[in-house]
Structure 1
Amino acid sequence: MSAVLTGLAAARRAGRPYGIASVCSAHPVVLRAALRRAAGSGGTVLVEATCNQVNQFGGYTGMTPADFVAFVATIAGEEGVPRERILFGGDHLGPNPWRGEPAETALRKAADMVAAYVAAGFGKIHLDASMGCAGEPAALGDRTVAERAAALCAVAERTAAGAGLPPPVYVLGTEVPVPGGADHALATVEPTAPDAARETIAVHRGAFAEAGLDDVFARVVAFVVQPGVEFGSDNVIAYDPPRAAGLSGLLDAEPGLVFEAHSTDYQTEAALAALVRDGFPILKVGPGLTFACREALYGLDLVASELVPGYGERPLARAMEALMTASPAHWSGYYHGDETALRIQRHFSYSDRIRYYWTRPEAESAVARLTAALKGVRIPETVLHQYLPQVDPVEGASAQDILIAAVDRVLALYDRAAGVEGRG
């Protein structure tokens, strides 16, 4: 199954590049849409969880790595996708969730987290020890980062061997700005300097060799760099191939590697296809998928307000506003401006900080009320076109079908850009 990833570099060298979307979300609608698409295509689906989202203590989803695998497997069973066609990835695995603690403590917890991910069956492991812990600089030098990554890799290798599992493939390095989108408006984002990327690769190769992991380094399939793509609260920095040409050219001297591009959300199909062509074939996407789901939920909220007597005036949106204003921790440090600006960002920001709230009981109750209100209700094509123009009208489609269709529209864009559609 990891052949999908290990073949990326060779395919690029052969002039037949392909890519893969990395679905980084724990939202059940997003996961169902991705798995339903895989069921239809017969291909592999790459699903990733982040260190803050899922870890040995539950993360913000409340799920351990084993819980997350079981959660996805349940949906996959309902959609008819066999386990062997699901590749699980762990994203930014390192001390980030505990960076406020001393390095020794944070790295011990990071090692336990990596072990839990590998033991649960995650076969793609992104090791990221780039952040400083308590008393350290915010950004660490390449040497320290590489040594910590090698130590975490050794834990992963021991865990896989001890459990009789296939050894993982690895992704190393990190990107700037931080994962999840910038917290301010951006005018431009500089791609990683080729010399900096070259040095990062060389230092990691050396650190792995010193740790006795030469053979393991051959299973490093990609490094995370910044190709010059990012999104802020209300704008998107589009991929500009000439600005990343030097970075792409570096891969000519590293025939076994490609780059992994984070924050590709909201890029056009043409930009995504160019990323794949230029050596960035692993396309991370998360907020862009939950953004599409939220768009559809709010569209259905308006549909129900129009069609269902007694439903009320946008009760889902009202419930989410009440929830987010009562519990601002997930958005208050990311959104800026006056009260009107903050309200707009809470609901409609590209950063999609609202995604952290959908698993709260108040949100789940409001969504359940919406889907119950629309059960058996025929939505006229004209009303669907008014509030959900992105979804092709299908006679008798349920609210769940409409939500999945909205997310699938984004996934289809990634598959086309990655060359999945047409390969069969």
Structure 2
Amino acid sequence: MSSNPLGDIASWRDRPGPSGIPSVCSAHPMVLEASMRATLPTALPLLVEATCNQVNQEGGYTGMTPADFRVFVEAIAKSVGFPTDRIILGGDHLGPNPWKALPAEEAMLKAEGMVAAFASAGFAKLHLDCSMGCAGEPVALDDHETASRAARLVAVAESSVPPEGTAKPVYVIGTEVPVPGGALHALAELELTTPEHARSTVRIHEQAFAQVGQSDAFERVIALVVQPGVEFGSHNVVDYVSTKAQGLSAALAAMQGLVFEAHSTDYQTRANLTDLVRDGFAILKVGPGLTFVLREAFYGLDAIVEELFPGSRPETLRATMEKVMLASPDNWARYYEGSESELALQRHFSYSDRVRYYWPDVAAQQSVDLLFEILGDAPVPETLVGQYLGAQYEAVRAGRLTPTARNLALAAVERLMEDYTRACQA
């Protein structure tokens, strides 16, 4: 049986080479392609993770099961020339969250089915999160119940791994507050996880795993999700301050074989990301930040089409996306607040980037396809790149980037991914 490439991540910082890894949490094909292009020249593998709501045994909001997601990612890799043996697939927040409106036992049976589907599809990294209450329970459960449910899911995962040729999965435990995907309001300062709580979480999970006969699996727990003081809301970003996290960082010394996993690192500066990795937050989750810069590129190209080919479309991409989001408000309405004009602004430009849920819509896909069809492979005038896609202007002027529409969109994501790959190799 092959070894898991993340199994020794805690020792990476003590030897030459990468000391951390970005975790790309997206199912957008252009985000994945750009992530592969940015990772290919580095020494890093590419860790791609699917969340419980995005991909599950019932299809999630992408319509993909874990097995489907593997085929999807590997097809993109083949088209890009990215070696599939450098891809690590992970499942994020695996637990009852998609079914938390159901009674606990019913939701946990669904969660078992999901974890079995991820494990049987050969996903190498599984983040177990059973912290949320189900019907009739408190919103958040205590550590003991959370760990007990996580251990129950581990037993299912262990029995679902294909019998031959697949490494046993590694596990991530713990959760973070606020909820995944960004906070729902403006943030000023966050309460960091205390060293005591981090140590307690590990201890309680170790006991829970042992109680269900899964001590061997606990040896493959590689990371604990903690709050290092990073988050983003609709309107602002809370930056990482290394000096505030030193106590938490120092706690790793007593947690042999573990690193910290930092969620919601989107929109942190490269310097902040570098500090996070140096301080032991070796797994950096990023998702909405990647689709945010892709949306910026799409909207920039949208404006360029209007400059170069006015009247060539029934409506702009921006207008199409507004219609699509208004027609199906479930993915944004309860997350944004304010006047009608404030809601309109957030639908398109919020850091939470909930517009990302709508790119698979048929009308949205057709509008993006038309955008690229009109612009084709002709170079976009560099003056318009400067006006509407300013982040790419320097690379275009220097001759490092051929300014076709597709290249410009991919380059927006690659540029952000480079912040992560550089931080993990600093």
When normalised by structure 1's length, the TM-score is 0.95
Q: Rate the CA distance shift 1:228–1:185 in 2: closer, same or farther, 3 A.
A: same
Paired position in structure 1 for 2:258? 257
Deviations along 1:8-46, one digit per CA (max 9) or x if unpaired, are: 212335698711100000001100111222333364100
Q: Rate the CA distance shift 1:273–1:2 in 2: closer, same or farther, 3 A.
A: farther
Q: Is the 8 A contact 1:17 1:276 kept in 2?
A: no
Q: Is the 8 A contact 2:12 2:20 kept in 1?
A: no
Letter in 2 for 1:407: V
Letter in 2 for 1:405: A
SS at match of 1:153: helix
Q: Can you give the 5+ residue segments of structure 2 that lack an aligned partner in the other structure? A: none
Q: Is the 8 A contact 2:18 2:44 kept in 1?
A: no
The CA distance in 2 between the partners of 1:195 and 1:17, in whole Å, is 29
2:399 aligned with 1:398, yes or no?
no
Paired position in structure 2 for 1:341? 342
> Which segment is superposed worse, 347-356 or 368-377?
368-377
SS at match of 1:11: helix
2:351 aligned with 1:350, yes or no?
yes
C-alpha RMSD of matched pairs (Å)? 1.8
The CA distance in 2 between the partners of 1:136 and 1:376, in whole Å, is 56
Return the offset for 1:211: 1.5
> Which segment is superposed worse, 237-246 or 305-314?
305-314
Paired position in structure 2 for 1:56? 57
The CA distance in 2 between the partners of 1:80 and 1:351, in whole Å, is 32
Paired position in structure 1 for 2:414? 408
Return the offset for 1:355: 0.2
Q: Is the 8 A contact 1:259 1:280 kept in 2?
A: yes
Paired position in structure 1 for 2:107? 106
Deviations along 1:181-239, one digit per CA (max 9) or x if unpaired, are: 00111111111111111111110011111211112111100010110100000100000
Identity of aligned residues (%): 56
Deviations along 1:352-411, one digit per CA (max 9) or x if unpaired, are: 000000000010011011111101443111111110011122575322211110000000
Paired position in structure 2 for 1:246? 247
Q: Is the 8 A contact 2:382 2:403 kept in 1?
A: no
The CA distance in 1 between the partners of 2:291 and 2:177, in whole Å, is 22
Q: Rate the CA distance shift 1:2–1:298 in 2: closer, same or farther, 3 A.
A: farther
SS at match of 2:338: coil
Letter in 2 for 1:384: V
The CA distance in 1 between the partners of 2:3 and 2:180, in whole Å, is 24
Q: Is the 8 A contact 2:112 2:153 kept in 1?
A: yes
Matches within 5 A, 1:223-238: 223-238=224-239
Deviations along 1:294-334, one digit per CA (max 9) or x if unpaired, are: 00000000111101142359700010011111211110111
Q: Rate the CA distance shift 1:402–1:150 in 2: closer, same or farther, 3 A.
A: same
Q: Rate the CA distance shift 1:337–1:299 in 2: closer, same or farther, 3 A.
A: same
The CA distance in 1 between the partners of 2:293 and 2:162, in whole Å, is 40
Return the offset for 1:57: 0.4
When normalised by structure 2's length, the TM-score is 0.95
Letter in 2 for 1:417: A
Return the offset for 1:240: 1.0
2:380 aligned with 1:379, yes or no?
yes
Q: Is the 8 A contact 1:17 1:277 kept in 2?
A: no
Q: Is the 8 A contact 1:224 1:262 kept in 2?
A: yes
Count the aligned residue pairs. 420
The CA distance in 2 between the partners of 1:356 and 1:161, in whole Å, is 32
Paired position in structure 2 for 1:77? 78
The CA distance in 2 between the partners of 1:17 and 1:74, in whole Å, is 26
Q: Rate the CA distance shift 1:178–1:14 in 2: closer, same or farther, 3 A.
A: same
> Which segment is superposed worse, 403-412 or 373-382?
373-382
Matches within 5 A, 1:13-52: 18-41=19-42, 43-52=44-53
Return the offset for 1:127: 0.7
Paired position in structure 1 for 2:329? 328
Q: Rate the CA distance shift 1:154–1:51 in 2: closer, same or farther, 3 A.
A: same
Q: Rate the CA distance shift 1:340–1:119 in 2: closer, same or farther, 3 A.
A: same
Q: Is the 8 A contact 1:2 1:123 kept in 2?
A: no
SS at match of 1:89: strand
The CA distance in 1 between the partners of 2:18 and 2:165, in whole Å, is 33
SS at match of 1:40: coil
Q: Is the 8 A contact 2:249 2:279 kept in 1?
A: yes
Q: Can you give the 5+ residue segments of structure 1 that lack an aligned partner in the other structure? A: none
SS at match of 2:41: helix
Paired position in structure 2 for 1:186? 187
Return the offset for 1:163: 6.0
Paired position in structure 2 for 1:95? 96
> Which segment is superposed worse, 389-398 or 325-334?
389-398
Letter in 1 for 2:154: C
The CA distance in 2 between the partners of 1:396 and 1:154, in whole Å, is 51
Matches within 5 A, 1:149-160: 149-160=150-161
Letter in 1 for 2:370: R
The CA distance in 1 between the partners of 2:129 and 2:96, in whole Å, is 8
> Which segment is superposed worse, 395-404 or 280-289?
395-404
